[in-house]
Chain A
Amino acid sequence: MDKKDEKEKIGVYVCHCGTNIAGVINVEEVSTWAAENLKDQGVVISREYKFMCSSLGQELIQKDIKELGLTRVVVAACSPHLHEKTFRNACKGAGLNPYLCELVSIREQDSWVHTDKVAATEKAKAIISGGVSRVVYHEALEPLHVPIHPATLVVGGGIAGIQAALEIADAGFPVYLVEREPSIGGHMAQFDKTFPTLDCSACILTPKMVDAGNHPNITLLTYSEVEKVDGYVGSFVATIRKRARSLREADCTGCGICWEKCPKKVVDDVFEAGMGNRKAIYVPFPQAVPKYPVIDRVNCTYYIKGTCKACEKFCPTNCIDFAQQDEILTVEVGNVILATGWDLFDTRRITQYGYGRLPNVFTSLEFERMSNSAGPTGGNVVLRDGKTEPKVVGIVHCVGSRDKNYNEYCSSICCMQSLKFAHLVKEKTGAEVYNFYIDIRTPAKGYEEFYHRLLEEGTHFIRGKVAEISDATRLPSEEGKLVIQVEDTLTGNQLRVPVDMAILSAGLEPRHDSKALAKLFGISCSADGWLIERHPKLDPIATMTDGIYIAGCVQGPKDIPASVAQGAAAAARVMGKIQQKEIALEPVRATIHEEQCSGCRICNNLCPFNAILFHEDRMVSEVNPALCQGCGTCVAGCPAGAITGTGFSNEQILSQINGLLLLNVPKKQAVAA
């Protein structure tokens, strides 16, 4: 490469970012240093400015490009995640190919992580030197244009997923709504009342479920799961396994005779949270959408012993099909919305709270089912014996949340949920209710007012995290009760509160398989397991992968209103994409130099996006540029060194390293670093 001969004209722009950068790094010094010491590299101008991303800052660059004829631009500012696009567009606006602009980070990788001002300033110089050395090897690239398929895949049919699907379908675009359980509805379908207005959960949810079930633009795929996803924004191909319901949906009327006649009772751990039973052929709840039952093959007598078939015998439309096979569907979609929700924290993990050991300790979901008039106790709040009404009930906040031994985060909904429970217990049983809390968190519309209502209702509030719940009774008044031991932190007294029933307000956790889901869709999740948004404040519903959005609790704990809002917001983003009809893809791609490829096929399996195909005839590999995401895995993996990544070529990387080490700068200036 003769790059060195045809002298580039490079502009360097150092940003203050207010005091974000300038508070630690001596920006003026850095800028002057670059102008003086990187001259040989081709730097013709170096400037510093308060906010480079402001329109004035951008104009600065554009003016220099036009007036000084810059051929390369290096901006030293924040992370490329934030403003790479901004500066590339600014260059484009002035007629310079956007890929000839390099953004180096002196904020995230320098001023934010150091306190030693002198050292940080030296580091900034090195970072800029690296950027300048690298940008010389940049090539002018043109983006790839691909069409956007108008269909959308929504995974998870809870309230967030339903909302997203309805919005898109109402706008006239097709949606595949994939739900793992036999019915859509998610957790909201299990609840009795919803805070803070206490309207009945089913009453507000069912109409939406029915709409989703009947919508001409929605293909409902329940009892189904996504198994494989290929492709990229605009044209994903998803492979979906539709598990056999063991009946022909087309003929089933949902009459319910089959599950009435089925002799096999099964404890329902999912919908009834273990509080009630269902049959081996079942719909999870009466308002289920779709209305067809499924046969649970693990528990059905026929699948275990080969006899029974009562359901088949009684079915008036003769639609039972024991031999039915799973169906594998492949669908093409332009965008994906993930809305798979949450799992409840396993309260057994906090052994000192006694769940599973002491019968009258309940989880929050168990209480929801118990309080629901369609639930296992017909809406009666009773002890585990199924008949005794409690006289004193303790509600324990923050179970498994705000605790470094379990989950450090606050689950955000359980204070309100605990207040809701306190109200329902009082209303239904007249029992004395104690809420044990660390802080009452009621930060949304109408929530604090609901708390005040509870105070007026006479609920006891004790500020203290419960130490333990036991049956270690000491006094006659404790006989036969559970004892909740806690410090009332407002007075400093250690209390032993005897109760008949304890309800554990367990936290929300990511789905147990959220990491696998993230991997399947090629996005990232936090160490906890919540899926990571593109920006925590400014883009909470997009992910780092174009075309994949997240909505509802899959992103983190939140209440129903927030889940609905995210579902709708994700839908709006998808519709915007669909309207564009076409999308420009980053031209950062890998290419295989055929003459160097030895045909070992190592790269074929390395590529996480299955973008590499193999030509049997010529015995060489080739990258499909539409599928390649430019991740660079194959580049590093190829033993023959036959692959280069645009934007990450060996020259670019090596020269950047040289630059960082200040090898291109005259010795005496370099020593300071």
Chain B
Amino acid sequence: MKEFAYFPGCSLEKMASSYHMSAMETTQKLGVKLNELDDWNCCGATTYFYIDELLAYTLCARNLAIAEKTGLDVVAPCSACYKNMFFTAAHLKKDEDLAEHVNFALEEDNLHFSGNVKVKHLIEVFAQDIGPDELKSKVTKPLEGIRIAPYYGCQIIRPQKEKEDVEQPQFFEELISAIGATPINYPLKMRCCGGSLIISSRTAALTMVRNLLQSAVDNQAAVIATACPMCQVNLEVYQQQVNLEFGTNFSVPVMYFTQLIGMALGIPNKKLGIGKEFVAMAPTPLAVETAWGLPRKTK
């Protein structure tokens, strides 16, 4: 059994509890154990970096140090948490000076980070550690005929870590194919949804959400799959406001990839947190063909 330290992040506590539930259920079913970090703190989203870089690194480092004690690689389901932790670990490993500063602060909580933790995004666990082939072999209720738009968003992929393809990656598509659904190709799958702007620069953010939904819908997506609570909230919760603002008529379900995988693995909807959406998802995969077979074309 593969085992990881698990950093849920703030939004998974409540806002994205369905992501948390479905992550736990699916990983368990696929033989992966996620151990929630003891007494973790918020990673700061992007906002710390607005105020004080050193503080931001310290807060991330605290979680990393807690994870390091477990001797396991750490997994974050939220893209922003993932990006923050990944690069904090990378910077601290490279920059001794910074590490010294940060560790000085960590002493107050009897912690120390020496740079030996690998940070992964939850979707990497599915794409790499489990792998599409293994996943496929465990599928009991393939989501046949469902057109799913994989939404990568920003911070899973960017900034670039090594020389991987940051413009047209395919791992999300492969996971969708593995559960029997049809991944759709739409040009905005890598574009920003404006998540971090929804509060500060509303019109800009809503426009970005609109463009994204339009692109997915134009390409006959029946559902958008996300791997980040911020993206999910933006694309789903703000659909109504987009409709109000632009006179559109969007009604596209936006689900966590773990929920979709969970359905294909035959996990009951309730355990996957399905039913908490604003835009309801069809209750069973069997009803899907008729319900989702048609494109939801908006004007």
Contacts and interface: CB of A to CB of B under 8 A. Distances in A.
Contacts of B211: 474
Interface string A562-576: 000000000000000
A351 B187 contact: no
A351 B214 contact: no
B165 A472 contact: no
Interface residues of A, number: 8
A351 B215 contact: no
Nearest to B160: A405
A474 B210 CA distance: 11
Given A471-B187, A472-B187, A472-B188, A352 B167 contact: yes
B280 to A, nearest CB: 28
Nearest to A471: B187
Nearest to B188: A472
B235 to A, nearest CB: 16
B48 to A, nearest CB: 29
Given A472-B215, A474-B214, A351 B168 contact: yes
A502 to B, nearest CB: 14
Q: Interface SS of chain B: helix, strand, loop or mixed?
A: loop
Interface in B205-235: 211, 214-215
Interface in A334-372: 350-352, 357
A351 B188 contact: no
Contacts of A357: 168
A598 interface: no
A470 interface: yes
Contacts of B188: 472
A467 to B, nearest CB: 11
Q: Interface SS of chain A: helix, strand, loop or mixed?
A: loop
A505 to B, nearest CB: 19
A220 B261 CA distance: 64
B130 to A, nearest CB: 26
Interface string A466-486: 000011101000000000000
Nearest to B167: A351
A352 B188 CA distance: 11
Interface in B153-185: 165, 167-168
Contacts of B187: 470-472
Contact of B165 (A351, A470, A471, A474): A351
Nearest to A350: B167
B209 to A, nearest CB: 14
A168 B80 CA distance: 66
A644 to B, nearest CB: 46
Contacts of B165: 351
A158 B176 CA distance: 49
A141 B257 CA distance: 77
Contacts of A472: 186-188, 215
Interface in A473-514: 474
A357 B190 CA distance: 15
Nearest to B210: A474
Contacts of B168: 351-352, 357
Contacts of B215: 472
Interface in A170-208: none
A470 B165 CA distance: 17
Nearest to A352: B167
Contacts of A350: 167
Contacts of B186: 472
B197 to A, nearest CB: 16
Nearest to B191: A472
Nearest to B163: A405
A350 B187 CA distance: 15
A401 B140 CA distance: 50
15 contacts: A350-B167, A351-B165, A351-B167, A351-B168, A352-B167, A352-B168, A357-B168, A470-B187, A471-B187, A472-B186, A472-B187, A472-B188, A472-B215, A474-B211, A474-B214
Those 7 A-B pairs whose CB atoms lie nearest each other, nearest first: A472-B187, A351-B167, A351-B168, A470-B187, A352-B167, A472-B188, A471-B187
Given A357-B168, A472-B187, 9 more contacts: A350-B167, A351-B165, A352-B168, A471-B187, A472-B186, A472-B188, A472-B215, A474-B211, A474-B214
